[in-house]
């Protein structure tokens, strides 16, 4: 069993996932639609090591018991598959090393790229050849949004109906090259978020009076966004994406106690992006469970968007990325992502 390295890009949802239909298996209460990013990546190495007593997991240079638990659970699932498939009778524990090239835990979906890269590397390291949908289901068990980073470009994640989660998987809608949008990310804070997404989702489902409206309206948003993507209709995608983003945050704010992921700079960025669009620039915003703002734009409009966001007080750094490919293996000794 050799050491295997994989890489995956972060993704951002345009139609948001918020809420779980089952905690067991980490099954989403709603479908979602996302774009996979090229330049915000995880690089994960999995090296099965006979003789090791237990998995040794280092994420961004740190051994953190809480984070490692979910990684070990994912490795256990993959080892069970390897045993069932007869490719290994007693697959040994592994050394796992994973690095992100962007800040962790601040609403930039580091768990998405991390778990997508992990399942691709671990499946190969333990000798399994799995269909993309199987890899997507394995990634989803680690982190809901990770199911989407298995694929590149525009991706749709199904809520699924089955209890075993086999239909709660993502599928590719449109490759990145077919509609080359770009994303400018405004980092407004580098601290780890106060309330993680799982905790936030569960609190929202339990306490928000808007919960049933959220569930009931998701399918229409997905249909709208899917049609916008297939028709390369920027205005239509902008409209439904901002709607879904603000609806998710409105929902989270209506939990008790309310979840407020934004800071002042977040709000100012949203206002600037809307002003740019009113003045004819092809740009819209989205925000995940953190204070960072993602501006999705047509390539010709990146420069004015960067200028506008750079001048917002409280914007610390701007990142810029095209859309990118899905999770994939890296050749031996490849440079860090
Ligand atoms: O994958 P998780 O459990 O970190 O949840 C992601 C939730 C959001 O990023 C806020 C929305 C989404 O669809 O990615």
Residues 57-97: tens digit of each pLDDT: 999 899 988 889 999 999 999 999 999 999 989 999 999 99
For residue 196, what pLDDT is reported? 87
Mean pLDDT, the chain, rounded, equals: 94
* Ligand 1 site, CB within 6 A: 13, 16-17, 32, 109, 111-112, 143-145, 197-198, 288-289
* % of the chain exceeding 70 in pLDDT: 95
Residues 137-167: tens digit of each pLDDT: 999 999 999 999 999 999 999 999 999 999 9
Of the residues 29, 109, 119, which should be mutated to test ligand 1's pocket, given the most ligand atoms within 8 Å of the CB?
109
Residues 239-288: tens digit of each pLDDT: 999 999 999 999 999 999 999 999 999 999 999 999 999 999 999 999 99
Band of residue 195 on the pLDDT scale cut at 50, 70, 90: confident
Per-residue pLDDT at 192 exceeds 80: no
Q: Cα(197) to centroid of ligand 1, in Å?
A: 6
For residue 2, what pLDDT is reported? 85
Q: Which atom of ligand 1 is nearest to the CA of 17?
A: 13
Q: Cα(150) to centroid of ligand 1, in Å?
A: 15
Q: 95 and 44 in contact (C-beta within 8 Å)? A: no
Q: Which atom of ligand 1 is nearest to the CA of 289?
A: 10
Of the residues 8, 9, 13, which should be mutated to test ligand 1's pocket, given the most ligand atoms within 8 Å of the CB?
13
328 SS3 class: strand
286 SS3 class: strand
Band of residue 237 on the pLDDT scale cut at 50, 70, 90: very high
**What token pair was written down for 296?**
């999705």
Per-residue pLDDT at 334 exceeds 70: no
pTM of the model: 0.95
Each as own residue / partner, the long-range contacts of residues 247-252 (CB below 8 Å, 24 or more positions apart, any chain) are: 247/16, 247/214, 247/217, 248/16, 248/18, 248/214, 249/287, 250/210, 251/18, 251/204, 251/208, 251/210, 251/211, 251/214, 252/18, 252/200, 252/204, 252/208, 252/289
Nearest protein CA to atom 6 of ligand 1, as residue:
145
Nearest protein CA to atom 4 of ligand 1, as residue:
197
Segment among 27-41, 57-71, 209-223, 282-296 with least mean pLDDT: 57-71
For residue 221, what pLDDT is reported? 98
Q: Which atom of ligand 1 is nearest to the CA of 248?
A: 10
Q: Which atom of ligand 1 is nearest to the CA of 112?
A: 1
CA angle at 163 for the pair 67 and 118, rounded to the nearest 5°: 30
d(CA 185, CA 28): 26
Q: Which atom of ligand 1 is nearest to the CA of 146?
A: 1
């Amino acid at each position: 069993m050799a050491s295997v390295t994989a890489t995956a890009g972060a993704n951002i949802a345009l139609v948001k996932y918020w809420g779980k239909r089952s905690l067991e298996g980490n099954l989403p209460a709603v479908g979602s639609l996302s774009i996979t990013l090229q330049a915000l990546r995880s690089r994960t190495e999995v090296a099965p090591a006979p003789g090791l007593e237990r998995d040794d997991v280092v994420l961004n240079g740190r051994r953190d018991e809480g984070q490692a638990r979910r990684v070990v659970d994912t490795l256990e699932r993959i080892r069970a598959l390897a045993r069932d498939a007869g490719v290994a009778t007693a697959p040994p524990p592994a050394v796992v090393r994973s690095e992100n090239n962007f800040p962790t835990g601040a609403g930039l979906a580091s768990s998405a790229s991390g778990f997508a890269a992990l399942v691709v590397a671990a499946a190969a390291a333990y000798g399994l050849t799995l269909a993309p949908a199987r890899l997507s289901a394995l990634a989803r068990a680690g982190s809901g949004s990770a199911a989407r980073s298995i694929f590149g470009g525009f991706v749709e994640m199904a809520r699924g109906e089955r209890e075993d989660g086999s239909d709660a998987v993502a599928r590719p809608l449109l490759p990145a090259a077919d509609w080359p949008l770009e994303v400018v990310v405004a980092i407004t804070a580098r601290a780890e978020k106060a309330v993680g997404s799982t905790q936030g989702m569960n609190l929202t489902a339990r306490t928000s009076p808007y919960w049933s409206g959220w569930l009931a309206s998701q399918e229409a948003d997905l249909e709208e966004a899917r049609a916008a993507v297939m028709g390369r209709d920027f205005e239509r995608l902008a409209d439904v994406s901002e709607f879904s983003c603000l609806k998710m945050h409105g929902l989270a704010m209506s939990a008790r106690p309310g979840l407020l992921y934004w800071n002042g700079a977040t709000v100012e960025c949203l206002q600037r992006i809307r002003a740019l669009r009113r003045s004819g620039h092809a740009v819209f915003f989205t925000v995940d469970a953190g204070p960072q703002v993602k501006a999705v734009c047509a390539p010709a409009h990146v420069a004015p968007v960067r200028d506008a966001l750079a001048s917002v007080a409280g914007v610390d750094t701007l990142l810029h990325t095209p859309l990118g490919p899905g999770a994939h293996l890296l050749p031996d000794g490849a440079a860090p992502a």
